[in-house]
Homo-oligomer: A and B are copies of this chain.
Amino acid sequence: MKPLSPADQLFLWLEKRQQPMHVGGLQLFSFPDDAPDDYVAQLADQLRQQTTVTAPFNQRLTSRFGQPYWTEDTQLDLEHHVRFEALPTPGRIRELLAFVSAEHSHLMDRERPLWEFHLIEGLPDRRFAIYTKVHHALVDGVSAMRMMKRMLADSPTERELPPIWSLPPRANRQPQPRGSVIDSLSHLLGQSGRQLGTLPAVARELLRTVQRARRNPEYDSLFRAPRCILNQKVTGSRRFAAQSYSLARIRAVGEAFDATVNDVVMAMCGHALRAYLRSQNALPEQSLIAMVPVSLRRDDSAEGNQVGMILASLGTDLADSGERLRHIHQEVGEAKARYASLSAEEIVNVTALTLAPAGFHLLTGLAPTWQTFNVVISNVPGPRQPGYWNGARLEGMYPVSIAMDRMALNMTLTSYCDQVEFGLTGCRRTLPSLQRLLDHLDEGLEELEAALR
């Protein structure tokens, strides 16, 4: 029996019917060369026999004197957690994304360990997919990525690898660093108000701090995000859209513009959001502001794992893609330089103020009239070498994240081999047809390439 950390409690507390707090991952595999046609069904049979379930996958929520605990589930029902499923005809990526969109919208059963593993057949060309869903209170994004890496082998000949729920617990488990904006928010709130009972006090404190900061010209740049449909309340259904891009293409654009891969990716997002919001008649006059979690590692010390967040304009008010990329490059550079000159304490202050409007809303349900950012764009590094799972080659992997009130769209990227993998998770009512962002991402990259010719 292990008490939940305040941050993990916060994920449970924030969860509501229209705002599930689980994260997911979609992985696309190709069959091993020697696999028979019914390979996925055979794999499902093998997985069903992997009945050893290790921590945290055997832990369920219990409560004692109001304090939530993780406790081993003595009634574990593997059939509930490990599901074998199929795509309808014709089994394209479109059907796969529709499947993940629906599954990601569903709350998990809180009486059981908060994870599900979906093995999906029915894709053409000898491929299959895995969609994994884990509550953010059980496993954070970074740990999930680590587990996923531990699940993979470097070679197709290693075949007897256990599935994630059967991985032996690691001997010397370090406290996991937490990477996403929500982690930082919860960390922050956890610091100020250890007990969830004091959350309204935390909200009051946030409000006071923000009001002070808005009168201070030093923090002025924090409050320039325009109002946008991206920052409305969410409803209970999600749309997930995903796509891979060639890292070489993005790198070539970056080199030509003297920008980083991350700058190019942000420029693509800027173009996509501009085009999408224009199609919805909802493009704000001022540019959208993105919040981008960045590593603040200054050396290799253990402390260096700290994650900060910068705010950068996405240049959605600029029509020209090249101009937008140059603008973003400058914005990001300035924000990073600002961070570099800050003391540790100042970083905490900026982080607090950046997150304040979202935090205030999450804590009180009231929409503040100020806004520090419109969209979160995060980048989680993935494996650089091809990975194999019992002989099947991993072809692509896409993060499925959380949409929340006032943060109706989440753009998470990861890298795998020579690919940049985009995963867009959003509220499908607040943001109709958000899958069109994928086409606009394509255009964004093409326009930058065209600008080079």
Contact residues in B for A111 (Cβ distance below 8 Å) = 18, 235-237, 429
Contact with B along A80-116 (1 / 0, CB 8 A): 1001111111100000001000100111011110000
Query: Which one, B18, B44, B109, contacts A109 given CB within 8 A?
Result: B18
Stoichiometry, as copies per complex, reads 2
Main secondary structure of the interface of A (DSSP, over half): loop
Give CA–CA (A38, B88) in the complex, Å.
Answer: 11
Closest to A427 in B: B111
Does A40 sit within 8 A of B, measured CB to CB?
A: yes
Given A17-B110, A83-B102, A106-B106, decide whether A41 and B89 contact each other with a Cβ distance below 8 A. yes
Output the least CB separation between A118 and chain B (Å).
Answer: 10
Residues B80 and A428 in contact, CB atoms below 8 Å apart:
yes
Q: Is A333 an interface residue (CB 8 A)?
A: no
- CB 8 Å contact bits of A24-50 with B (1 = contact, 0 = none): 000000000000001011001000000
Cβ of A89: which chain B residues have Cβ within 8 Å of it? 38, 40-41, 86, 121
In the assembled complex, the Cα of A368 lies from the Cα of B379 at a distance in Å of 54
> What range describes how many residues of A lie at the interface?
35 or more
Since A84-B88, A112-B429 are in contact, a sample of 17 more A-B pairs with Cβ atoms closer than 8 Å, ordered by chain A residue number, is A17-B17, A18-B110, A41-B89, A41-B90, A44-B88, A77-B428, A77-B429, A85-B88, A86-B86, A86-B87, A88-B122, A105-B109, A106-B107, A109-B237, A111-B235, A111-B429, A112-B237
Q: List 18 A-B contacts (CB under 8 A).
A: A17-B17, A17-B107, A18-B109, A18-B111, A40-B88, A41-B89, A75-B432, A80-B237, A83-B102, A84-B88, A86-B88, A88-B122, A89-B121, A106-B106, A109-B237, A110-B236, A112-B235, A122-B122
